[in-house]
Amino acid sequence: MTVFEVWAPIPDRVRLDVAGAVHPMQRHDDGWWRADVPTAPDARYGFLVDGTLLPDPRSPRQPDGVHGRSQRHTVDPAGWTDRGWTGRQLAGGLLYELHIGTFTPAGTFDAAIDRLDHLVGLGVTFVELMPVNAFNGTHNWGYDGVLWYAVHEGYGGPDGLVRFVDACHARGLAVLLDVVYNHLGPSGNYLDRFGPYLTDGRNTWGATLNLAGADSTEVRRYIVDNALRWFDEFHLDGLRLDAVHALVDHTAVHLLEELAVATARLSAHLRRPLALIAESDLNDPRLITDRSAGGFGLTAQWNDDLHHAVHAAVSGERQGYYADFGSLHCLATTLQQGFFHAGTWSSFRGRRHGRKLDTERIPGSSLIGYTCTHDQVGNRAIGDRPSHYLTPGQLALRAALVLTSPYTPMLFMGEEWGAGTPFQFFTAHPEPELARATADGRRREFAAHGWATADVPDPQDPATFLRSKLDWAEPNTGWHARLLACYRDLIRLRRDRAELSDPWLTDVGVDYDEQAGWIVVHRGPLRVLGNLAADPVCIPTSGTVLLAWQPPTDTDSGTVLAGHCFAVLDTADQVRYR
């Protein structure tokens, strides 16, 4: 017998449909309906809710799409070969964010496995997947998911994800998954037919989840159970929690804290570290403050301020949310204090923003640093990568500033060779009305941020998706190969020198000349020199050159560095004899 159950306090009647055979279900006082029915291990089923056949909210598989029947599925323990896997701690690691559908031409888990050795050779330790849960249509960024427990069939379904994670672990790579708990997609979301999963409020992307109202206990359980399933059944090593600032929770124990407690409990049982990484634009250190000190106890959070500071300083862009960034003072502050906006005025928001990070208690490794993400590329008007408007030297300079920082670094797929392919926003909504609304909404958003909208690609055009696939012939050609070698050298240097993996911000020193355009970051005896200006500059420091984009010249007054270049110097001899 198989136990089928579903939480559905709203409908008056729920019945189970297994392969066309209808069975009664019994309602219990807690709002759960249950039925014991003999079925095949791969039986297709659904719930008749007041006469309408709907997929299981906790569906483990959706072979016919998000509107079709669910299918029973259990991960086969015999399919795993990672019994000796003990996980990786986040501190000291290197993340690599990728989208399964565009990482390879085939766009599947199995095709991605064939490229894992590239990541190992690069020095990656964590692969971070953009969302893979079920969504409507053939391709999507993944943030329009509606059935959080199912894996998108186009990528290879749940068995494909198992093969991918197992292959990563065999190569020493941990796996993180991007999950979205702040809203549901617009197509295939039937949760409100079962229970009060949603509120009347909305955020930028859709209706908000009921985390604090009546019957919210089961809604929160739905989320926590989903997170734990990824860890337990799919052997994942961590989750990236999308836009947690959009979670509306006024309870005494925030959902994030509840999730952190449950994750720590499971981590102890599995005897391997499990990471929770938040995306948040609040600059709120409480997310990564230990629960014993009144925080939520998450492992880490993305640091957009670092991205903005590096990007604006190197590129010169100042529109939209880059308005407050771009100076070397801003860059130096962010490299030493974590957040630039830390209770300071944000002209983009028109108010004070953020809170100061306690750098003596919270290590820099709790912040994820990057020069690129899917958002910072894909949410540009035409999805152009930095390689489209920066020189190779500027790309290398950006990489050096992040990869030698005290933060946990993350790369976005193809960044390491300056990929020439764009990463654009793409969808495949079957509903014409939704397709038009998505395209119109993108244009309005770009107009509000000061971007020209005439050339914004149509998300529904299949060419938009195909253009966004990586070209794996590029890494072996011309300046792409040279940039890739530079990334490898920087990552190797970070791994070999303890000064660079030291996470404590209190030990970082920064000198700079705003007018001349140079900056020097002190990491123990190491000096990371950057010339953000176009012309050569003489920087008043010297030492043994460990790595450089172009060889610098040593003079009596310092090191002459070419324009848009970096160098890493070792001043150990000078420090020793002072």
Q: Tell me which residues are annotated as active site.
A: 242, 279
- Report CA 115 to chain centroid distance, whole Å: 19
> How far is 368 from 305, CA to CA, in rounded Å?
10
Which tokens sit at 22? Answer: 């209808």
How do strand 126-129 and strand 174-179 relate by DSSP bridges?
parallel
| CA distances from residue 228 to 237, 270, 421, 467 in whole angstroms, order as listed | 11, 11, 36, 35
Closest to 151 in 3D by CA, of 133, 131, 178, 165: 133
3-state secondary structure of 78: helix
Which position has the token pair 């390879």?
104
> How far is 176 from 274, CA to CA, in rounded Å?
9
> How far is 195 from 191, CA to CA, in rounded Å?
6
Within 429-539, strands assigned E span 508-513, 518-523, 526-531, 537-539
With beta carbons less than 8 A apart as the criterion, state whether 270 and 281 touch.
no
3-state secondary structure of 207: strand
Closest to 418 in 3D by CA, of 494, 491, 378, 470: 470
Contacts of 123 (CB under 8 A, 6+ apart): 94, 488, 491, 492, 494, 495
> How far is 504 from 366, CA to CA, in rounded Å?
10
> How far is 238 from 228, CA to CA, in rounded Å?
10
3-state secondary structure of 277: strand
Which tokens sit at 236? Answer: 């994942």
Which tokens sit at 535? Answer: 């012309």
The answer to whether the Cα torsion of 408, 413, 416, 418 is positive or negative is: negative
Q: Exposed, middle or buried: residue 480 (CB in 10 Å: 0-12, 13-18, 19+)?
A: buried
| CA distances from residue 211 to 38, 70, 201, 222, 248 in whole angstroms, order as listed | 35, 26, 12, 11, 7
> How far is 433 from 463, CA to CA, in rounded Å?
20
For 300, half-sphere exposure in the C-beta direction (CA atoms, 13 angstrom radius) is 29
Side chain identity at 284, as an amino acid letter? D
Closest to 277 in 3D by CA, of 288, 289, 292: 288
Which tokens sit at 435? Answer: 């397709």
